[in-house]
Amino acid sequence: MKTRQGGMRKLEIDGVASGASVFNDHIRPITSRVDGIQGFAEVRSKMIFNGRRSKSSLSLALVIAGAVSLGACGRGQTPYDKNLLKNPSFEYVKSGVPQHWQLAHFRGLEGESEVRYGIDNTTAADGKQSWFFDADPGTRRFHFLQQEVEVRDITHVRLRGWMQLDQVNRLVGQYAQCNFLVTFFDEKHERFQELRYADKRTVLKLGTIPWYEEDHMFRVPKGTRYVSVACALGCDGRVWFDNVSLSVPKPPDWQTRRTENFVFHWLPERPFPPGSIENEQLMFDDYAKRLGVKSDAVVYYYLYPDTASIRSHLSIKGHQYVSWDDMEIHVINPNEDHEIIHFITDPYGRPPRSIAEGTVFWLQGQWMGRPIEEISAFHLSIGRLPTIEDLIDLNRVSQLHPVFTMPAASVFVKFIVDRWGTERLMEFYRELNGVNSYDQFAKAFEKVYGVPCKEVEEQYRYHLSKVKFDKASTLLPVQ
Ligand SMILES: [Ca+2]
């Protein structure tokens, strides 16, 4: 292995600071109904509190947009299985930087110790030369080497590229980059997630590793028009990059059928069972009617043969996915009956999770196959019924088992709907959009219902105290 010596030519580039690295992915995994509910807390709450995707153009987006040359694409469909990057092996160099590639600053301040970089003609995975970054323990200022391509109507990209590492080590004050990064932009050159410096990445590699190839498939946000690929180092050590490829894999052979509120997708090897498409639309109609709303939502419903194919198609760890921004459900269940309720209420607002989930289980009348009122009546009788504040306060609700919180939230939603109706519930949703504390919740409640929340909570508990329950049809957490 080559030792890390400097001596390569350094280039002057303009640096622009990137935004903070806040995770705000709007895709969430569901592992199972119960786990899914627990897993939901994290991602959906982030989604709720961060609000809807905003698309202001940050300096980073502008830099990337402005600094790069666009890959030829024309107006037609992006070709499949073809490397869209130009000069992917860094064999052609102009003024020290590979042609069609750009250096962009991503970390550190002007004047801080800067990463070294350049072409290395003594080692290559392909052709005669490669690109390297080289940093010391004291290096604080880092850059990407990136290229952007234009694409149309794509759902996935495949990133391949070779890396070689020599004593790469993440030290205090440095960053978790020694990998490839992929960033997506819409037709206005704005990012889909503005705060992270990249949307997708290959796994951070550390240590000393001879030339090897990374090969990953990534799902692309709907409406993606530009994709930027970057080679990055953010920590101590030396890394070489070579033979990078970004291609669009030929999509699966999706068959489709449109109904009023869905575009159903399935693969020839597993069609929807007879009647289940009609059923799904009927279920949607029924939920919308019971919520008193007319929904013009269109949900893109993808039915997979098995969970392994979801994982491989989407490059995810979980086995089911919902994308709120793209209105997509990726499942193996031909009659999904939970997420569709969130899709119906979503245009009205994103309330605290307990209210959103409570609405679902109220409409379904049961939780884990048991009647919600009986479960909560039992919990009240043993002093385990959560308060409304427990349900709304993020810290408190995360400490409680869903077996207590979900039925309680459903009964509370049912209680206010029985008394004031669904139109008022949707008004409550609007007031609750983005609300994340009990104080805000109680204010919104009183504004919409004209009564203090505490007063209604007492009535709801009194109501529950009168509900007869059969212990056999209730639930407690498994010890
Ligand atoms: Ca090369």
Range 409-435 average pLDDT:
97
The CA 60 to ligand 1 mean position distance, Å, reads 28
pLDDT of 64 higher than 90 = no
Q: Is the pLDDT of residue 402 over 50?
A: yes
Burial class (CB in 10 A: 0-12, 13-18, 19+), 75: exposed
CA 290 – ligand 1 centroid, Å: 62
Dihedral pair phi/psi, residue 341, rounded to 5°: -70, -40
More confident residue, 37 or 449: 449
Split at pLDDT 50, 70, 90, the class of 75 is: low
| Lowest-confidence segment of 18-32, 342-356, 363-377, 421-435 by average pLDDT | 18-32
The confidence band for 196, taking pLDDT boundaries of 50, 70 and 90, is low
Distance 89 CA to ligand 1 centre (A): 4
Joined tokens for residue 142 = 């880092």
> Which residues are CB-neighbours of 423 under 8 A, at least 6 positions away?
292
In Å, how far are 32, 181, 312 from 318, measured between CA atoms? 10, 21, 10
Burial per residue of 188-200, b for 16 or more beta-carbon CB atoms within 10 angstroms, e otherwise: eebbbbbbbbbbb
Tokens 């009927």 — which residue?
282
Across the range 304-325, mean pLDDT stands at: 84
Pick from 100, 98, 126, 127: nearest CA to 11: 98
Q: Which residue has the tokens 């919409």?
A: 448
Q: How far is the CA of 92 from the centre of ligand 1 (A)?
A: 9
Cα–ligand 1 centroid distance for 15 (angstroms):
26
Distance of CA 11 from the midpoint of ligand 1 (Å): 20
If DSSP codes are grouped into helix, strand and coil, which group holds residue 271? coil
Beta-carbon contacts of residue 42 (< 8 Å; ≥ 6 apart)? none
Which residue type, as a one-letter code, is found at position 82?
A: K
Compute, in angstroms, the gap from residue 145 CA to the centroid of ligand 1.
Answer: 14
Q: Is the pLDDT of residue 49 over 60?
A: no
Query: Measured in angstroms, how far is the CA atom of residue 105 from the centroid of ligand 1?
Result: 23
Q: Tell me what pLDDT residue 56 has.
A: 34
Q: What pLDDT score was predicted for residue 27?
A: 33
Q: Which residue has the higher pLDDT, 326 or 437?
A: 437
Distance 1 CA to ligand 1 centre (A): 18
Q: Which of 68-82, 148-162, 374-388 has the lowest mean pLDDT?
A: 68-82
Residue 473: both structure tokens together: 């049809």
Q: Which residues surround ligand 1, an ion (CB under 5 A)?
A: 89-90, 124, 126-127, 242
Q: What integer pLDDT is reported at residue 194 of this predicted model?
A: 62
Residue 446's pLDDT is what? 98
> What is the pLDDT of the chain when averaged over all its residues?
84
Give the separation between CA 362 and CA 377, rounded to whole angstroms: 15
State the average pLDDT over residues 24-32. Answer: 32
Confidence check: pLDDT of 62 > 50? no
**Range scoring the smallest mean pLDDT among 89-93, 172-176, 357-361, 454-458:** 172-176
Q: Are 174 and 135 in contact (CB under 8 A)?
A: yes
Superfamily of domain 53-247: Galactose-binding domain-like (2.60.120.260)
Q: Residue-wise over 9-19: b if at least 16 C-beta within 10 A, else e?
A: eeeeeebbbbe
User: CA torsion sign, 302 to 305 to 309 to 310?
Assistant: positive
- In angstroms, rounded to a whole number, what is the distance separating the alpha carbons of residues 131 and 120? 6
The span from the CA of 384 to the CA of 175, in Å, is 45
Kindly report which listed range (68-82, 104-118, 186-200, 455-469) carries the lowest average pLDDT score: 68-82
Q: Which residue, 316, 342, 125, is CA-closest to 219?
A: 316
Residue 87 CA to ligand 1 centre (angstroms) = 9
Task: Look at residue 39 in the predicted model and tell me its pLDDT.
Answer: 32
Residue 6: name the closest of 176, 97, 136 by CA.
136
